[in-house]
Homo-oligomer: A and B are copies of this chain.
Amino acid sequence: MPPKVGILAGGGDLPERLVDACRAAGRDVFVITFDGAAEYGDLGDTPHASVRLGAVGKTLKLLHGEGCEEVILAGPIRRPNLKSLRPDLRGARLLPRILAAKGDDALLTTIVEELEGDGFRVVGADDLLPHLLAAVGELGRVTPGDDERRDIAQGAQVLRALGPYDVGQAAIVSAGYVLGIEAAEGTEALIARIASIKPPGRAGVLVKLPKPGQDRRVDLPAIGEATVAQCAAAGLAGIAVESGGVLVIDQDRAVAAADAAGLFLAGIEAATP
């Protein structure tokens, strides 16, 4: 029997999709949500518990008690402020390393090391959902034009230049002009602010890549139907993601939404190292 998976759930659709994927594969799951760290939907009859983000000891105890052997970190979590963190004993011991972690990658590495130190195998969402990784080429019916292909290449160059600095998973480029770069605000806020400064009409390309060298088990970027809807509403021409490096959640629905809105949705080759 395949080992039971503990899902440490952040926001977005990813946790729910992982639960579906595990069930379809006959794997048992246990979901842990974190108070105030994200908006969670109704988990229905999925076995789950909710803990404070600072309750590291309780989280590990729950995972052991439920017999989980593998753990998956799924979806973004809001950085808590210290006041609301209220760590338990184990959390307090971890706190100095959490506070010393510079950037998202370092923070997630700390969490992975803690889980591995307790005997869990940390697996990636792409291990459970490999069919949702973007392929190379157009995923839908709409094809980017030459200008848009240049914008995609420019966006990818900008993001790769930022690679060493643990920042930047997305950029929006239009007609050779970099309109926006994502840092800590998230892709949704990036798209929202571009709507008012982009050229009128269907223009501008959202480019989303994994950061070079990031641990894909813990921070694989993802887009979904909601991303497509937001780009369509903002008047963008399309979305390009790194093939094999970005999950397209609900891929059928996301592609259908892009087709309906006249947006392209394309997978681009990963950079050769």
| A positions within 8 Å CB-CB of B | 79, 81, 83, 102-104, 154, 157-158, 161-162, 164-168, 171, 175-181, 183-185, 189, 193-194, 197, 199-200
If over half of A's interface residues share one DSSP class (helix, strand or loop), that class is named, otherwise mixed; here it is: mixed
Q: Which residues of B contact A179 (CB under 8 A)?
A: 183-185
Choice from B157, B166, B193 contacting A178 with Cβ under 8 Å: B166
Q: Are B178 and A103 in contact (CB under 8 A)?
A: yes
C-alpha gap A177/B177 in the complex (Å): 26
Given A102-B176, A178-B183, A183-B178, are A164 and B161 also a contact pair (CB < 8 Å)?
A: yes
Given A102-B176, A193-B189, are A183 and B181 also a contact pair (CB < 8 Å)?
A: yes
For A106, the closest partner residue in chain B by CB is: B176
The contact sample of 8 A-B pairs, CB cut-off 8 A, is A154-B165, A157-B165, A158-B165, A161-B162, A161-B164, A171-B183, A178-B183, A180-B185
Min CB–CB distance A66 → chain B (angstroms): 33
Q: Which residues of B contact A104 (CB under 8 A)?
A: 177
Given contacts A103-B176, A181-B183, 20 further A-B contacts (CB under 8 A): A79-B199, A103-B177, A104-B177, A154-B165, A158-B167, A161-B161, A161-B165, A162-B181, A166-B178, A167-B181, A168-B181, A177-B184, A178-B183, A178-B184, A179-B183, A179-B185, A180-B183, A184-B197, A185-B193, A185-B194
Q: Are B165 and A200 in contact (CB under 8 A)?
A: no
For A103, the closest partner residue in chain B by CB is: B177
